[in-house]
Structure formats: structure tokens, C-alpha cells
Structure 1
């Protein structure tokens, strides 16, 4: 391995400047271990990551030509070259599906056999694989290693032109002639034909042909300066230059700021009728109001709107954060930093800023390791009704509105918010240049709903963010990464056809931001881009169109909280009403003196009243049962709320009294007019006035005046009892009689007359909670079981006798 690295690195002796760059890259990798663990490239780089599982599918018999970098992640030169290769992926993104870019880390143990099979002996090595490459082909290496994007781009074009057979997805790259143009529109169905007049050594025409590969209704052809007929006909005097050619021989010159590839490409992609392949055409402005949830709001595309920023805050704090019921640990730290940055740098209105500062202060005062979103939301919604504090609810987009509800909106608003925060941090002179970027990174990592998007953003943030040591670099870093995302998402399903992803700002918006290098390639003039960003995202430039007045926002907030309090009060009354109705339908039994004493001694809730055998069989119990018919009384459940609650809990528990259990009652109380009365005394009086018809198990001749009983039909899982409970509320008993009556009413088998008491003493002892019908059924079952056993005994006895007699025969 060391020898291989030596061969790889000895090709490029380090210069002092390169050594310094290499050291800087090592620092970056140490600060970003996640990227190093995944190799030098990730899926966010628009580079196909080769593995033993997919290498054949990508390289063998593919319809696209493929450029592959074989590298080792520990190789210093590979690390230095990786930004160039990423830049190449961005530069030729539009060349797909004619050309793909791939890479494989030969330092990974699982990939070593692949690298050996393709004859890799040093790193980095770049090879070109033609379309329809055979399985035994090792590819064509790039001789004379190129270290810049332009050189690699030209090398790929050279390989394409020597390609045999021609890749099916690649357009023609050879120069055109006047004879071909005369019949061009007869064989090609396009609206525009762009002619690039250039010298024979120029690559602009071929690059533009590939740049427009993914667009319909336009074609590009190169015309050499030696084609005198066309040069004279169109009056071409400058090389390079671009002319639009139409049927009938009509033509016009394409006006651009600089005669360079990037300016040509941008202008041609925005010609009328030119759309990306597979994408719908832009929607007319007068139809947009019918395809979105909100009415279309005309806006100035060169300005930022405060309504977009407030809508972003609403969605961020009330929707994204709400996905976390409990916010704890690193997520809580991310939320604190995010809200702190908002409170510090957001250029909002006074009511919004007051709320953000209050929210930030509340979060910083939370000393625990977790908070609930409900508590967080109370502060966001200003439930305490602090004066002059509010965050408008709802989403109403202006500059970030899309032609369809699924386009732009919150992602656009979030990018705009982050740009505004970085610019404001620079304007106020933040002491920490990474404060906003770190808070933004943590928020996306913890809360952003699109998890693949969050992963891509983390991949970008791990590359170079730690080296942003000034506020200006922070502003430019976020702008550059935003353009990187625009390049990656251009042509994706998420792209709005009315707002295509471009490298921003466009030449129309900021002409001085674009410049041309000596070799003709495009470059950004960062000394102009920074002032443009500072002006575009400045708080002084933010438009307040379509905003509601602050007084209206506060009024809506008060009305919302008033309606919420009224709803909560109504729910509270309904809950109390249900509790009262349940209380009347299942009245608790008053505990005995013995149980109260046991409760005080043991600290436990009293069980149902116990009845001793002496009371059950004695005359005192019979006298108490006789007196029930003349004197009845029920204690008010509201007299002692705590005792009533304990009694209700005790009533719900089964009690074991001589192996018996008392059923819960299913009394029926007429509550039709219950909810319309006062919820305490009057309601209970009205409910108490409804009596349940007397039901008894006695014959009519045995019925005597006695309290009204409700027949509880709930069957216990273990004993299956039927219990009778008094339902009258007007019994007037003194203390002793009441206690004796309550002791008797707890028995599951009630006494219904003197005859049943005298004749059923022994039956009561055997019944153990069973009714007469149950006992009768048991007797019948026992009798049938006995008869079956007797029949089996006689059968086997007779069978045995017959067998014995057979064996005794000679």
C-alpha cells in the first residue's frame, strides 16, 4: 500500500502552495469526521458512488459514457483533487444522460478487488468508459493528468468525439454546413436553432450542445469561421458569437453580456418555448390563482417580503418543531440556539420581536434536559396574553409562492430566512461569525421534515463551514451552498416550472456579479456579490406588502384565546355533568364504623360493609329489615366530597363478605333535563325525583311495602351474582337503623319475608352467593353426574362378570 501511494503521489511533486492547501484540507477532514468516514464524495455531490454491487450495472453495456475516478481516501493528492472533481460534476450536470461521473474508494477493503480488476496501481486515476463497454474492458485512462475543471471538460469532449459507436443520447458535436441548415427544420421539430460561430480550436459550441441536451424546442450547432458562406450571409465579425436561426433564413444575434459559454447557456435556456425535457411548460399568471390554495399575489422577484419570513417562522415553530412531542438532549440545545439567533437577528415587527425574545428567555431558563412541546407552544401562542406579543398564524406566501401548492413555499422561505439572518449578523457586528450558520445547521439536522434534504445539507455543512472565520465569509458560504443546491435540484421533480433553479443572482439581476476568466470560463465576482447580498437581504429592503396590521393580529389573538377559554369551560362543565350523572347512576355506599376505624388504622380505603353471621341470623337484623319500609334516607353526595370520592372508589371494588361479592348498580336516571339545571343541588334533586320501578324476585302475595330496589344484572367473573340495591332517596333512617339496613343491603341474597328467613337459613349457608335457581341447577347437575357414574359402574361390573365366566369355561 505504501508503494502504491508512493507511485501515485510521486507523479505530482508538492509545491509549497500545494503543501499549504493540503494541510488546510487535512484540518477540514479532522473537523468533519463524518465526511471522511463516507469517503471523499457523497450522494450530494452528484457523483455515482461505485461498489462491487453496482459497478457492472454502471460501467458494463451502459447507454451512457462514464468517467470514473479511482482514488484512496488516505491519499493526500486525492483529497486535493476532490474539489476539482466535485466542480466537474456541477459543471457538466446537464450533460446527462450522455455522460455520467462516478468514483470509487480503493482504500475500502470491499472495493480493492474492483480496483485491481480494472488495473489501478496508483491514485488518483481517471478512466473513460465508452457507452456499451464490454465486461473485459478496463477503460481508457486520461493521460497527462489534468487538475482543473476546464481541462477535464475538454478531455471528455475529445473522448466523446472519438467514440465508436456514437452514444445514443449524445447530440452531434461536429461542425455544421450551410447545406445542412437549409433542410434542418424539415428534419428537426424545434422552435430555435442556435448557431455558435467559433474558431476550430474552440470548445464553446460543443459544450453548449451538451449543455442544452436536457431541453426541448432548441438545438445547437457549431459553425467554424472557415464556413465563409454562412459567415458572410449572417455578417459574423466576432468569434465566438451566437445567432438564432429560423425557418425561411431569418436570423438574429443573441445579446449577452459576455461572449462566453455560461452567458450563452443561460440566455438560450430562457428563450420562449424552451422547457426542460419531461417538465410541464410554465403556467400562465392568470391561471395560477386556480391552481393554488391561496389567491395569487403579484410580487417583485428582486425583493424580499416580510410575509414570507413570518410564514416561515409560523411553519418552523408551530409545525416543524411540533413533530417532537418531547424535546430533549441535543434537539433541545438546537432549538435554544435557533430561537436565540431569531431573537437576536430577525428584523421583524415589534410584536413578533417581543414574542421571540420572550420565547428565547423562557427556553434559556429551562434548566432541565427536556421540555414538552405543549409548554413551548403556550409561549409561542402567547397563552398568558402578555401585551404586544404575537406571531401571526398561517402561511401566506408572496415571493416564495409556487405555481402549485407542492412547489417552493417553506423551503424557499427557510433559505430566505437564513440569508437574512447571516446578513443581519454581519450588519450588527456579531462576535461569532459562525453563530447563525451553526444554529441553522443544527435546526436543519434536528427539525427539518425532509430527512434526505437534511442529510444533503449536513454533507455540505461538513465541508468548510468550520473555516468561516468572518461574517463576510459566512454570508458568501451560505450563498455558494444555496447555488450548489440549485444546481443539484435543477430539473428534479421538485423544481417549479415557473421558477427554474438557476445560479443566483442571474445576469439580469446583477450583471456585475458575473465575470469571465482569461480562459473564457465563468467566474463570480465575489467583491460584487457580497455588496449585492448585503443590500438584497437587508432589513431596509424587505417589503411589508400584504401584511396584516399589528392591532388586527393582537385582536385575533385575543379572540382566539377567549374562544379557547370558553371551549375549555364548556368541556369542564360537560365533564362535571358526566361525573355527576355517573355518581347518581352508581351512588357510593356509606362505610360502617368498623371500616372507618380500619381505614384510620391501616391507611387503606374502606371495603363494602361486612355483615356478621350473628346479625344475619339474629332478630336485630330482621327488625332492621322490617323498618326499612317505613324509614329511609340517603346522605347527600355533595355533603362530604372527599368521603364521597372514597366511597365511590370503594364501590367500584369487589368486596369479599362470607364469599360474596356485591354487583355494581345499573340504575337508570332520567337526565333529559339534567344538563339544563344547576350542576349541583338542583340537578341532583331533579335526578333524585326519578324513581326506578320496583323489581323483586318475590311472588305478588309475598310483596310487602319496602324500599324500591334496582336489579343489578352484572355477572361477576368468579361468582355470578344477582344483587338488589335500594334506589329510593326519601328513606329517613336514624343512625343505627341506617347502618343496620346498609349492612343488610350489602348481602347479595336479600331477605324477602319471614318465610324465606326461617326456611332458608341452611340454604343461605350453602348458597355462598348463589340464587335459588343456581342451587337448583347445581342439584340437578349433581344428580345427573351421580346417575352417570352409577350406570358406568353397573356396566363395567356386568362386563367383568361375563369375562370371568368365559375364562372359567373349559
Structure 2
């Protein structure tokens, strides 16, 4: 076996493994042990209004490259934030899902990923759509979250009039209340954890007053670190008189622990830092046989491509009656950048088919508005040509599209469970079904002339050309004078070829070549003897392939919820 053959065989094996893994392993972008709860349009508002905890929500589109790059960072962050689960929930909302577009639009999500912080009991208003966190650094995000969380009631300073008994009453599972003393930095320098937070680095001593008490982060950080222990509540105080309330003489680095019986225990950390405070308290809890919450189970890094395949198959199960823009775009991308440039010379009928294909795209394109402008430019560049080489066509396509990137990277409705199946062939049929339904702006019959011309001149599948020619003999295109007849002709041709190929090597076992639509998808399309009811079939095709029914799922674009 030569080296080239070995590499080729290895690539096929790896491809098969990838497809098998993506189909059967149910890989997820976020696993159950990642401390991430996925929301959708049915649960989003209710979850936000929940009163017990604050929320960090990531709005994302899994097909977006920026989102994909951020997934490992966010996953590690969410696992770390599990320690704060008592007061902070981590959630995600998938803006690529059609059903979630309204939410992403109403919360002004202009790009993905977007991180927003929401306090407990959040109520949406015109001017409050959550607090956006722009950093993509995990440590910085954690610091920003801490600064927002410290505004919660849970972090409220323990005042002279407060009673420890109330804390035990409100938190029946609590066994100990830890009182941490800290003061305003201008009055109590030892508690200034220099450089620990942005607030401390930029604070000025004169900022410390009754209205703006710039304080050390020590108490906050101690509280956050001990959230892992259900038996403990931390309360911070900055009033020396509270010592008197408990009959205590203030001493440096003193921690006071009160149990449910009102008994006091004093701990003295080695240093005046939150890390030392936490270590001392944890040592006490360990001695008392109290353990922190169980850590999350370790999980493997996310296989993003396999996870997206899982999402796609779930989407197809939930929305079997949709046509996806991603498939149409991939078909157009493949035709322009792979199929057509293979032709050495466009002249005569070949050039006519090319020109008419671009004309269809120009008038009834399913592409993003920005791409439509590129198609128009390409169409007018070629319309004046009398002959054209494949190399020249490639250059014109490059000049027209330049830095534009097609936003579809994966097949959705045309996805395959095995390599070398479906994909482009499926998307080509889908594209021309769409053309026939949306052909109101072009001459009757012109879509089919382009379709048959494309198959004849540019399709490499000899068997496909043969079978389509046989069908044309049975149903000549010259007999078609109306748009509806054009829609039904292509549908009949597709079913005719499917019938001949069913059970063959090109059939995907997960997507068998049936007579479309199935009785389940369209019960009214057949009569009691299982004969087609053409009026119902036509109605169904017009609904499925119309522009309004196109799904944005699978597109790396914010257009559906920003336009």
C-alpha cells in the first residue's frame, strides 16, 4: 500500500468515526455536570423572575465562531461558579433556535456570545435588560460577578440592631454564623487587600464616607468562598460596637463563630486576608466533620462539531417540516465555488444555463441581504459575456464576493448519518424546490430549464442525468406553462428518482428515500386508496418551500433577531 493510499484510507476511517460518534454519542455543548442550565422561550421569563438567586445568562449561537471559541472558557468558568450555586445560577439561551428569536430580539442581543447578569426577582423593563459583561477572561468575569453579587441582601452588613437568632430562623439548615470584621479602608488599613480588586486599586481614601463606603473585599471574598458549606452563613460587620453586643474585646484578626445555641467560638487566622480566614474556618468545619458540597464530576472537553450534530438531529426531530437556509446557502456556495469552476469553457447552452442560474439567484435568492448584493454584482458581470472559462468564472466570483464568507458551515435538513451521503445532492433538490415555489418574478418554466440544464452540463452523476432524462420523456417540460405545474413537475421528478434509488447504496438509513411527503407529514395529501391529491400536495409544497417558512437554524448570523 503506498503512502497516498494509506492517508486516504485513514481519512475515511476518521471520517466514519466522526460521523458515528456525532450520531450516536449525543455529545452536548454543555453537559449536565457543567453547572449550566439551558433555557428556551418557554422557561426564560419564569426563570428570570425567580427570587432565590441571581443569574448569569449566556446568549449564544453554536454555529458562530466567536461562540465556539468561548465555549471552553465559559464551561470552565461555569464549573468554577458551582461553588456559588446558592446565590448564582448559570444559564444559556440558544439564539440560533427559531423559537428563541423573539427573546434574543427583545433583549437587544446584537452578537453572540453575549453575557448578561440579572439579579434575583428581576423584572424586565425598557431600560433594564440585564447588566452586560463584556470581558471574555474567566477571572475578570468572576470578579465582575462578585462585585454585582455583593449588592444582594445576602451580603448586607450585620448591624448593631441585627440578631443572630433571626439568621438561624431564616436558614434552618445553618449551624454556624461566622462574623467577619472589616472597616472602611481609610480607617482600617490592615484589612486592605491591596490590588485584590479593581475597586481597591482605583479607590481614593477620601472616597470613604457614609454615602460611599469603599470597603475591603475581605468579607465578600470570605463569604463567597464558604458558600460551598450549607452549614455556614457569613455576615460582615464594620461597627466596633457589635463586639460589645457579644461581650467581646476587639483584637486583631479575630473571627467570631456563633452556633445555634448562641455559644461563641473565637478563631484567629495567621494573616489578615480572606484566604487565611477561609482556611481557618475550613479547618474548624473539618474538625466538626462538616464537608463542602460534593464537587462536580469531571467531564471531557466538548467536541463542538459532534455536539452541533446532536443539536441538528434534535432539531430535525422537533421541526421536520422546515427548510433550512443553511442547506440552501451551502448548495449555492458549493455550486459557485466547487461545481461550476470545474467546467473548462462556458459557451452556447452552458453559458445560457450559467447566466439563467445567476438570474434566478438575483431575483429569488434565499441568501442574506449582504450576499444578495454579491450575487447581483456577479450576475451583471457575466450577463454581457459571450464565452467564459472556468478560471475566469472563478476570478469573477472572487471579485464579487471578496472577503464575504458564507455563514453556513454544516448541512441541517440535508445532514447525513454517514459520510458521502445526502449533503450537496439533497441541498440541490431543496434549492430548486424553493425556486419553483418562489418563482413569481421569473418566466414560467424557467426554473426547470435551469435545473435540467444544470444536471445535464454540470452534474457529475451520470446515473442522475440518465434517470432525469427518462422522466423528461414521460413528462416533457414544454407542456408546463404555469407556476403550479412547474412545482408539481419537480416534485414528481424527485419522487420518481427516489423510488428508483430507494434501498440502494446512496440511501441514508436514517433518511430513507420515501415518496414525499409521507402520510405522517401530510395526512391530507393522499386519499383513502393512497392516491395523491394534487391540490393538497401543491398546498403542502407551497407551505414547506416558501420564503416565510425558511429556518435560520444553522446559520452563523444574528440577522433574524437584529433585523
TM-score class, shorter-chain normalisation, is 0.3 to 0.5
Higher relative contact order (CA 8 A, sep 6+): 2
Larger Rg, first or second structure (1 or 2)? 1
- Normalising by structure 2, we get a TM-score of 0.43
